[in-house]
């Protein structure tokens, strides 16, 4: 990679692993939960990288690793030119400004006792930005940017709907003028009718603000709506990564194909999709070989013994599967037999 390419990344995650030790079992052995396994990702400036995977696949942990909220066991993470995990003082404050998190539950993100004005002023006060008048102006501008008028300033979270609160949370994230917005299931807790309005707001903001985003969802439809590239996570591993079009029209991994093919409107975890039989294996004792082999209709002895690498399938499309060259055809044959 040359310098120019490196500089065009707002964030890079390089061979990052995170495990959680479990309490010792009755034989005195300590097992580990494999949460994020040797993940490498890059988010380019101005890009929305979608991250999709079933519940428990490690999406939120990856988001927290990226923001330096949990330490990695190994690997390297850079955000906005800062080496995450090594920062103190002014550099840590810089990271806290440059990268902002919006997560699922807006009620949990805001103090119910504080007015929205107080909640929105807090980050500006913490970072000592502007005079009191300037801060208030910034807050009202940020509210307007997310489609809320000044009357919200005096309200408390209890006086607002979930969708309105998620707008407030987004406004608060924007106040510090971040370069990277990490959205972890930002619409999963909202009514279907409200989801689209928040997604449209995020689309508008990424354009007007030239924001880079890591956009996380268990729902492929949601990711499809705004991701430029998509990474698919299975049991803490990236199993496929491709541009939006390559992924949605030319997916190669049997897991991604199962997700896309599901008869449930591309929802991954609400109902088990037709093709995706059974539960994912336990992250405490993942199977030998390919992690997906226990659910894969194409699994062979090799898949049960030997873990596939993430390989380049052309034009930046990456896939972790021994059988990717014929996966689409092979799955069609399996289907016709069934
Ligand atoms: P997702 O966001 O995709 O649902 P998470 O990153 O929240 O997945 O969790 C991935 C796995 O790591 C899950 O099995 C979860 O139980 C486990 N996990 C997450 N955080 C911790 C923690 N602090 N301690 C122990 N296990 C954890
Ligand atoms: Mg999560």
- Residue 166 near residue 183, CB atoms below 8 Å: no
Q: What local confidence, expressed as pLDDT, does residue 27 receive? A: 85
Which atom of ligand 1 lies at the shortest distance from residue 20's CA?
25
Residues with Cβ–ion distance below 5 A, ligand 2: 59-60
Question: Residue 261 has what pLDDT?
Answer: 79
Instruction: Name the closest ligand to CA 184.
Output: 2
pLDDT at 3: 45
Q: Whose CA is nearest to atom 5 of ligand 1?
A: 58
C-alpha–C-alpha distance, residues 183 and 216, integer Å: 6
End-to-end CA distance of the chain: 46
| Six-digit token string for 334 | 């399996």
Q: In the prediction, which pLDDT does 30 show? A: 85
- pLDDT mean by block of 10 residues, the chain; 338 residues: 61 98 85 95 97 95 96 97 93 94 93 97 94 96 96 96 96 96 95 94 94 95 95 97 96 93 49 63 92 94 97 95 90 76
122, 275, 280 from 272: Cα distances, Å: 42, 8, 11
Which pLDDT belongs to residue 1?
Answer: 42
Ligand 2 centroid–CA 68 distance in Å is: 16
The confidence score (pLDDT) of residue 338 equals 67
Residue 74, SS3 per DSSP: strand
State the virtual CA torsion across 225, 241, 253, 65 in degrees, nearest 10: -90
What beta strand segments (E) does the chain contain? 9-21, 32-44, 48-52, 74-79, 82-83, 99-103, 180-184, 212-217, 229-234, 237-243, 311-312, 318-319
Task: Using alpha carbons, select from 36, 16, 89, 20 the residue that is nearest to residue 236.
Answer: 36
Nearest CA to ligand 1 atom 6: 58
């Amino acid at each position: 990679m040359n310098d120019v390419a490196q500089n065009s990344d707002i964030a890079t995650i390089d061979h990052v692993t995170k495990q959680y030790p479990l309490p010792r079992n009755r034989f005195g052995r300590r097992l580990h939960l494999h949460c994020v396994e040797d993940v490498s990702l890059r988010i380019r400036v101005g890009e929305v990288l979608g991250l999709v995977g079933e519940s428990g696949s490690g999406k939120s942990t990856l988001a927290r690793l990226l923001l330096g909220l949990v330490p990695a066991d190994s690997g390297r993470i850079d955000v906005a030119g800062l080496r995450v995990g090594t920062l103190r003082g002014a550099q840590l404050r810089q990271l806290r400004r440059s990268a902002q998190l919006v997560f699922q539950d807006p009620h949990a993100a805001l103090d119910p006792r504080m007015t929205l004005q107080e909640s929105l002023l807090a980050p500006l006060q913490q970072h000592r930005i502007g005079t009191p008048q300037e801060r208030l102006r910034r807050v009202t501008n940020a509210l307007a940017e997310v489609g809320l008028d000044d009357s919200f300033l005096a309200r408390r979270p209890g006086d607002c709907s979930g969708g309105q609160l998620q707008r407030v949370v987004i406004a608060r994230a924007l106040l510090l003028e971040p370069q990277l917005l990490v959205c972890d299931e930002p619409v999963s807790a909202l009514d279907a009718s409200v989801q689209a309005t928040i997604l449209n707001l995020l689309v508008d903001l990424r354009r007007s603000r030239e924001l880079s985003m890591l956009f996380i969802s268990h729902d492929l439809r949601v990711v499809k709506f705004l991701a430029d590239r998509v990474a698919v996570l299975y049991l803490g591993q990236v199993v496929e990564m491709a541009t939006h079009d390559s992924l949605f029209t030319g997916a190669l991994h049997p897991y991604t194909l199962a997700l896309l093919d599901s008869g449930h409107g591309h929802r991954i975890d609400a109902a088990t999709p037709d093709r995706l039989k059974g539960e994912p294996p336990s992250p405490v004792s993942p199977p030998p070989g390919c992690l997906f082999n226990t659910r894969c209709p194409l699994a062979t002895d090799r898949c049960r013994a030997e873990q596939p690498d993430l390989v380049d399938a052309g034009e930046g499309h990456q896939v972790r599967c021994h059988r990717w060259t014929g996966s689409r055809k092979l799955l069609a044959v399996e289907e016709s037999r069934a």
